[in-house]
Amino acid sequence: MGKVGLGVIGAGRIGRIHARNLKYLIPGAKLVAISDIIEEAARKVAAELEISSVETDYHDLLQRKDLDAVVICSSTDTHAQIIEEAAVAGKHIFCEKPIALEIDRINQALVTVKKAGVKLQVGFNRRFDPSFRKAKQLIESGEIGTPHLVRITSRDPAPPPLDYVKVSGGLFLDMMIHDFDMARFLLGDEVKELMAVGDCLIDPAIGEAGDIDTAIVTLKYKNGALGAIDNSRKAVYGYDQRIEIHGSKGTILVGNKTPTEVVLHTKGAISGDVLLNFFLERYKDSYLAEMAEFIDCIRNNTEPSVGGIDGLVSVQMGYAALNSLQTGKFVSID
């Protein structure tokens, strides 16, 4: 197979990242079209990347014969519908998380994808971070023996706009969803039940919008291991992303990234760079790697390592956390 023809649907910040990677950094890909309901946004990206085709209606994009696959970066409420229509059109699909905010809607989309026989990869980019992947490899090779404890910290530098909070599905479904997926990925095991606690400790307006901004979730794995995830919408020192896996023979630590590795030691203090600002900088390499895998899967007719079931389970875990927050009890994952 030659180069894979792709169209990007959604010209926001993540859509721009994927479009640039497809245009310049992935040899097996050919970016042929950009679509966004806001024509100016699509034209801006198209002009920057020297792409001649711009569509305000993604249906026109799906009809193109030079298109083998789509990259869905539009608003969450459109994901499932576009997945289904792309599948029926015979296009392979990369979709940013979540597939949808309703379990039934996710299941419906996955059935359509299976019937169409196309590939679906969900954008859990953190699986492709070089450090996190190495941690998983070390676990699988037995370097730390039997895993006993998993600790995942994810803290954003600042809360999102309130308009986003109101439609995002909440902290568990738009932020911690990545950590739920990472918890499964690292141990290669499912979480059987979890318990969540959380509150608004940063901005009361987030609570008024029906969400929380600070949370801790305790996990119980099927294999007996335990886990803990903590999220905060505000870390004044930058984008805080850390992982620790403790086992019978040792511990794996994955720390934060900084612009340089320089650390200054003086008589009065030890200091270094502040953390990278946010996810686009921190996970730059992982966005490239996940898209490279998607293209390879299409060209070599293999299945993506992160698919529709992973998208489904992460949302199930999010709803279990919401349930637990309300009841104060451990909740089983269906």
Which CATH number goes with the domain that contains 23? 3.40.50.720
Domain final residue, candidates 96, 118, 140: 118
CA distance 121 to 308: 7
On whether the CB atoms of residues 20 and 290 are closer than 8 A, the answer is: no
pLDDT, tens only, 123-144: 999 999 999 999 999 999 999 9
Provide the residue range defining the domain that includes 270.
127-285+314-332
Prediction pTM value: 0.96
* Residues 131 and 12 occupy one common structural domain: no
Domain final residue, candidates 118, 140, 174: 118
User: In the predicted model, is pLDDT for residue 110 greater than 90?
Assistant: yes
Helices and strands (H and E) in the chain: how many: 13, 15
* Residues 257 and 160 occupy one common structural domain: yes
**CATH code of 191's domain:** 3.30.360.10
Mean pLDDT, residues 244-250? 98
Query: What pLDDT sits at residue 325?
Result: 98
* Residues 136 and 268 occupy one common structural domain: yes
* Residues 59 and 81 occupy one common structural domain: yes
* Residues 141 and 113 occupy one common structural domain: no
Residues in CB range of 28: below 8 A, 6 or more apart: 3, 4, 292, 295, 296, 299
- Residue whose C-alpha is closest to residue 14's, from 61, 80, 74: 74
**CA atoms 137, 138, 143, 149: torsion sign:** negative
Mean pLDDT, residues 98-111? 97
* Residues 185 and 325 occupy one common structural domain: yes
User: In the predicted model, is pLDDT for residue 277 greater than 90?
Assistant: no
Q: Is residue 281 part of a domain?
A: yes
Instruction: Please report how the helices 130-140 and 177-187 are oriented relative to each other, as an axis angle in degrees rounded to 10.
Output: 40
* Residues 149 and 27 occupy one common structural domain: no
DSSP per-residue letters across 84-104: HHHHHTT-EEEEPSPS-SSHH
pLDDT band at 2 (very low <50, low <70, confident <90, very high): confident
CA distance 129 to 279: 12
CA distance 329 to 334: 15
* Residues 110 and 146 occupy one common structural domain: no
On whether the CB atoms of residues 118 and 306 are closer than 8 A, the answer is: no
Domain final residue, candidates 64, 94, 118: 118
* Residues 102 and 164 occupy one common structural domain: no
Taking all residues of the chain, what is their mean pLDDT, rounded to a whole number?
96
Helix boundaries (H) for the chain: 13-24, 39-49, 58-62, 79-88, 103-116, 130-140, 162-167, 171-174, 177-187, 204-208, 279-282, 284-300, 308-327
CA distance 243 to 259: 19
- Residue whose C-alpha is closest to residue 120's, from 253, 264, 298, 1: 298
* Residues 213 and 237 occupy one common structural domain: yes
* Residues 180 and 92 occupy one common structural domain: no
User: What's the number of domains the chain is made of?
Assistant: 2
